[in-house]
Amino acid sequence: MALAEQVFNFLIPSVSKLGVGAVKQLGATAKFIGGKKALIVTDKGLFDLGVANQIVELLNADGVQAVVFSGAEPNPTDLNIRAGAQAYKENGCDILVSLGGGSSHDCTKGIGIVVNNGGDIRDYAGIDTFSNPLPPFIAVNTTAGTGSEVTSFAVITNTETHVKMIIASARITATVAINDPVMMVGLPAHLTAATGMDALTHAIEAYVAVLANPVTDSLAIGAIKLIAEWLPQAVGNGANLEARDKMAYAEYLAGAAFNNAGVGIVHAMAHQPGALFNKPHGVCNAIILPHGCTFNLIACPQKYADIAAAMGVNIAGLTAMEAAEKGIEAIRKLSRDVGIPAGLGAIGVKESDIPLLADNAIKDLCCFFNPRQITLDDLKYLYAEAM
């Protein structure tokens, strides 16, 4: 039987450096791709801990100058982008280095868009909205969660509308991604849990997304298996370098999967508390994940049965629906085990917020990739369930 014509894209950084000691190659890598003066984009926490200065030293050792912009906030905003772009231009930089998790990477992507395309970051919400590529861009990852160091997406909060703008383009994928588990050892347990559950959400949503294909399926299932086994150990003992290493691989696989397959209803819902109330993205994803899975179950029960098996559930003798339901319970248990709050109410979201959250979520780009069609009433119901 002839297959219908269908083409899938697969986008990842040109080079990825993975494993213990990978960050030591930063300076040589920056020099190789033509960098002479780097803007290091990071957050205040990593700056205050001296991690940003370590990155400066690694660059300087290979003859690359560097200045630090530490204004990347959680859920980065258009204001962060403006300030970072100004710092890049004023210091005569020619290369970008992001240091951190998704906030730093997304902020860097936004800065790169503006410095090479002009205007304001608000001009570029949507898909392929600009024509000039970013400057050379190295993403140094310090969390095992967001996958932003490998993706062609950036999520930036519009401070005027309080909506998260999604910017998607192959042109914002990092030139080089560096995942060194040594950089993740100092991450506190609660952030390890939140970022790890974020990675699990990426993998699960990518596996059931409408753009999923055999390549992304393999990546997603591999990530789920690693996270189910190693996330509790990374949370329980942050100095466990093997657990950190396995989680670094897991989040990279999950990032590559969702970058090419998309995500769905969980992300559409989780973006809204982050944009409106600055709630942590990974925690919102983790809280909403089992509810989104339950909603999607009837659309692709066999896919969720596969997820159950990857989570370590014995599905022998079970129907696809029975296995899938046990898989969702395994997700809930993992979330509890690593200390994720029980509901959105526990992080300050109110029931009176639900109409606004739902109104914004239904417009979120992620809804288009969900395996089950979504209505506004569905979103209101699921937000209530997740409280």
pLDDT at 3: 64
Tell me the sheet residues that pair with 137: 96
Distance in angstroms (rounded) separating the CA atoms of residues 44 and 291: 34
- Return the residue matching tokens 């369930």: 385
pLDDT at 2: 61
Distance in angstroms (rounded) separating the CA atoms of residues 69 and 142: 17
296, 265 contact by CB (below 8 A): yes
Cα separation values, 290 from 225, 360, 383, Å: 17, 21, 12
- Return the residue matching tokens 């280095």: 97
pLDDT band (50, 70, 90) for residue 75: confident
pLDDT at 379: 98
Cβ-based neighbour number of residue 336 at 10 Å = 11
Going by C-beta distance under 8 Å and a sequence separation of 6 or more, which residues neighbour residue 252? 16, 18, 147, 149, 150, 177, 179
pLDDT at 241: 96
pLDDT at 101: 92
Q: Which of 86-95, 153-162, 171-180 has the lowest mean pLDDT?
A: 153-162
Q: Which tens digit of pLDDT belongs to each residue from 256-306?
A: 999 999 999 999 999 999 888 989 999 999 999 999 999 999 999 999 999
Question: Beta strand pairing status for 176-179 and 163-168?
Answer: unpaired
The domains found in the chain, sorted by start residue, are 15-184 (3.40.50.1970), 189-385 (1.20.1090.10)
Tell me the sheet residues that pair with 40: 68, 97
Q: Give helix 214-236 / helix 241-261 axis angle, nearest 10°.
A: 150
317, HSE (Cβ side, Cα atoms, 13 Å): 1
Residue 173, judged by CB atoms within 10 A of its CB (0-12, 13-18, 19+), counts as buried
Instruction: Tell which residue, 221, 198, 195, has the closest CA to residue 208.
Output: 221
Q: Which tens digit of pLDDT belongs to each residue from 369-385?
A: 999 999 999 999 999 99
Question: Beta strand pairing status for 137-141 and 95-100?
Answer: parallel
Q: Is the pLDDT of residue 341 over 60?
A: yes
- Return the residue matching tokens 């998704």: 102
Q: Which tens digit of pLDDT belongs to each residue from 132-166?
A: 999 999 999 999 988 999 999 999 999 999 888 98
Q: Is the pLDDT of residue 7 over 90?
A: no
Tell me the sheet residues that pair with 153: 168
Q: Which letter does DSSP use for residue 150 in this model?
A: T
Element (H, E) at 154: strand 153-158
Average pLDDT score over the chain: 95
230, 185 contact by CB (below 8 A): no
99, 46 contact by CB (below 8 A): yes
Q: Which tens digit of pLDDT belongs to each residue from 361-372?
A: 999 989 999 999
